[in-house]
Amino acid sequence: MFIRYFMILMMLGGSGAVWSHDFTPTYPKLEQSYIEGVLKASMKLFNKRKDVRYYEVSVYDNEWNKIPFAMLGEKVMNLEYLETKYFDVFIQEKSRNKATYICTKTKLLVTDKTKAMLDSRICSKIK
């Protein structure tokens, strides 16, 4: 079992030649923020995609309807290659039972080549 985890870690660590999108934790918890009636989840986003510099954050219920939320910065954030960003997502306490997913999605820029591009989205599930 340990060897399997080690191999996976090696693969993750050694994937420098390719471009990836990494968003954790898998199961964030909503905690009381410094504002009454507002909860927060602390998230971490790592950009290992050279072709992407912008990511959009969104929150959904279990039927993929958008839930209102707030962040201290822009909801479309600039993240340079190999940059890690820690941020808090603020959700109203009344949305606590509805909010299910916190997602980050790549925002791609138009290029001048004919190709199929990859738009990646990773969603964490609120526990």
- Closest distance to other proteins from the beta carbon of 93 (Å): 22
Residue 35 or 50 with smaller CB distance to other proteins: 50
What are the residues binding other proteins (CB under 8 A)? 4-5, 7-9, 11-12, 15, 18-27, 48-49, 51, 101, 108, 110-125
Nearer to other proteins by Cβ, of 40 and 105: the residue is 105
Contacts of 65 (CB under 8 A, 6+ apart): none
What minimum distance in Å lies between the beta carbon of 10 and other proteins?
11
User: How is 39-101 classified by DSSP, letter by letter?
Assistant: EEEEEEEEEE-TT--EEEEEEE-TTS-B---B-SS-SEEE--TT-EEEEEEEEEGGGTTT--E
Closest CB to other proteins among residues 50, 75:
50
- Do residues 23 and 44 lie in contact, with contact meaning Cβ atoms separated by under 8 Å? yes
Q: Shortest distance, CB of residue 7 to other proteins, whole angstroms?
A: 8
